[in-house]
Amino acid sequence: MIIFINGAFGVGKTTVADIISKRLNGSHIYDPELLGSFLRGVLPKSMDKTDDFQDIPLWRQLNLQILKEMANHGVIIVPMTIFVRQYYDEIIGRLISEGVDARHFILTADRQTVMERLAERGEKDDCWGARHIDACLKAFENDIPGEKIHTVGRSAEEAASDILKCLVF
């Protein structure tokens, strides 16, 4: 099973993923950003002309393949912001359409709350996540399907519990 935890940058995906991982013995957290960093370090500039590694088709193709392989090896928890519908379709949507047991959750919060959370982790108002917050919030409201887990005024433990309640093993 793959538990995909999506949401705006700073909403709490990694924290919730860590809590879920501790509650599910034998689960594994997979961070697609590590693949993005790797590709940034090895690809020629002609293949990486953007400030977002998700725009690199190879990143999406490789993550799809990695997740398909991992899906049969226990519970895989994936905290990652994917707010472009095409990229959602190419990874999460395709996993689901190909019969992989992939569950997609979206952590939600209002703009002010997310900005406060970014600041709490030391991010500046002009950080990458803050610059993309409006696009994320709009996409998760209208374009990206998934089970929404509201986080405003709630602890990460409560959000993790909500996700776990949705799972049937």
pLDDT digits (tens, 9 = 90+) for 112-153: 998 888 888 888 888 878 888 999 999 999 899 999 999 999
User: What pLDDT is attached to residue 132?
Assistant: 87
Domain that holds residue 53: 2-166
- The answer to whether residue 169 scores a pLDDT higher than 70 is no
Q: Write the CATH number for 154.
A: 3.40.50.300
User: How far, in Å, CA of 62 to CA of 123, rounded?
Assistant: 29
Give me the amino acid identity at 106: I
Element holding 116 (H helix, E strand): helix 111-120
The answer to whether the CB of 32 falls within 8 A of the CB of 26 is: no
User: What pLDDT is attached to residue 2?
Assistant: 97
User: What pLDDT is attached to residue 51?
Assistant: 84
User: How far, in Å, CA of 31 to CA of 4, rounded?
Assistant: 10
User: How far, in Å, CA of 106 to CA of 83, rounded?
Assistant: 10
The answer to whether the CB of 11 falls within 8 A of the CB of 129 is: no
Q: How many helices (H) and strands (E) does the chain have?
A: 9, 5
User: What pLDDT is attached to residue 69?
Assistant: 96
User: What pLDDT is attached to residue 95?
Assistant: 98
Q: How many domains does the chain have?
A: 1
Kindly report, residue by residue over 45-102, the tens digit of the pLDDT: 888 788 899 999 999 999 999 999 999 999 999 999 999 999 999 999 999 999 999 9
- The answer to whether residue 168 scores a pLDDT higher than 80 is no
Which pTM was predicted? 0.94
Average of per-residue pLDDT across 107-112: 94
